[in-house]
Structure 1
Amino acid sequence: MTALHARRWAAHELGGPDVWRLDDHEVPAPGPGEVTIEVRAAGMNPADVKHVAAGTDASRLPVAIGYEVAGVVSAVGPGTRIATGPVEVGDEVLAFRIAGGYATAVTVRASDVFAKPARLGFAEAANLLLAGTTALDMLRAAHVVAGDTILLHGASGAVGVSVLQQARLLGVTVVGTASPGRFDVVGRFGGVPVAHGDGLEERVRDAVPGGLDAALDAAGADEAVDVSLALVADRGRIVTIAAKPRAQRDGFTALAGSNPDSARYRDSVRARLVELAGSGELVVPVARTYALDDARAAAAELMGGHPGGKLALVP
């Protein structure tokens, strides 16, 4: 097998999406334990932008952008199986914890590749695992169990929507903060919506007079942290993915996929999340797709607030 000509987005200097470049790239032929994927959709996540932002580690440059994709297998290394079993050229798959997903093709470790459930479109499949594994890691770190009542900040975002669905499967009641215009999303996935903003603590107390067992923060605002600290007595059951400085200062847990414990756990639950998506118990709302050439505009929308669902790049 020979190398494959492709195109991919990469950061050659630190900064925002405006400094990214769409490069020509030779995708190596897969060796043992590897497959090449013709990308049909690349999932988009805030981490794609944050990990090459100004002030991060410049020694890693250039950095190919994108951590998850869905597509069709175009080549298989000798004696290779993917995470879900045998694989052949032409199989539809998804992959997560890869590098360089904003591309027309990638060669990746087969252990990071899973058969794509037939009920998932490529854009949905490409956005399943980063948000899904993050959500499950938050529930784990906060020791959430059946019968708990929890507070979830940022409930209508990508991670929040996955938390809502997975908490419902666990038998957990979730009070989710969102803007009033997004209450329908929180309710659709089983949460009790409350508006963020002034007076949040009182509104949460009114919604759960019996009190809270834990709080998960996917928003990062000081308001979210302050209310969590006020309403959850055990700081070991307060978890954030967006307010690390406050966590360090106030003595609660901040999670990141780069943390070795979180990385191991998130890798271990990928197959289970694929199964849930395949059975329809876990869905991925997709707001819109962009052409690969429009990655900068898509990233601007992603980081600009509330796109209303996941975004995907379609080569």
Structure 2
Amino acid sequence: MKCGKNGVLFSFGGDMACSILLGAGFSRNWGGWLGAEAFEYLLGCPEVKSSPTIKELLWGFSEVGGFECALAELHSRARLDHGRYNADLQSLEGAVQNMFKAMNHCMSRLTNFDLGLGNGSVRKFLGRFDAIFTLNQDLLLEYQYLQRWDGVELPGMRLSSSAGPHPCGTPWTEQWIPAKESEFRVTVHRQPCFKLHGSSNWVEGVGGSLLIAGGENARKLGLPPVLDWYHRQFAHYVSRANHSLMIIGYGFRDIYINEVIAQAVAENGLRLFVISPEGSSAASRASLSAGLGQEGGSAIDEAFRRGLVGASRRRLNEIFTEREPMELKKVLRFLEAD
């Protein structure tokens, strides 16, 4: 049990054995853009409009992989031919940074993140999990959750030397860089927050490139060590015996994440609860629309049939307010089950 800065008690770990996975649909509840909306924003950026190479890559990864895979591809090309591709890499990084700057500015000014009181508090809800895994690179959690209490950490990351002193505790929204690989660890009695695809305020080193990478193409080209460790941590957590995974706003288009979930359900009995407009159909619809292939699609579909023990199709502002008390009880039942 840990006391947050607002006096609310949070609990995590122990016998609960439950983690949470957040996708773009989670941030969407507070105005964040989904992957398709990010793609459409980037198409209108001057840096993109002036570069046929960037436009081609963004369109090529628009259905699966998104701008993260486009960035990974440009990183790979720039390493092989710096003179030809580095300008495009810098342009796309600049466009992505500007996109998140606009998004993060709005998220920093939110006054309704909690949505409800008591059991309807989103912060209290997030504090119930052993670990938070998020595919989002925005700073919603940093502004609205991490800096509100002192029981959470970003494992494997440290503040950049360019980040100045902060009078109000850990400056989560400042620039962060990876720690040494020998320092990759989870602190006992802390709730780890693993940003699986990196973050809009992370760089590979002081003055280095934006640390954002995700999707199958990025994995094939080689993830940064800290993100590779994060992915292995995800597999480690969900493969534990008697473990449960709450999934909010994830579109089931990351092949690696899907494979880890499917394997954990098949081999270790992982239990799933999904909050998504598609509910129990989320995986099958994603497989069809993203063209994941028969093998990749059938694996996550089978994981749903074997491991799904509940779902909600409601928005979070419906679940965590008095508008839908029965829906909140259904969600909490998953956390309180033996």
User: TM-score, normalising length from structure 1?
Assistant: 0.29
* Higher RCO structure, 1 or 2 (CA under 8 Å, sep 6+): 2
More helix by share: 2
More strand by share: 1
User: TM-score, normalising length from structure 2?
Assistant: 0.27
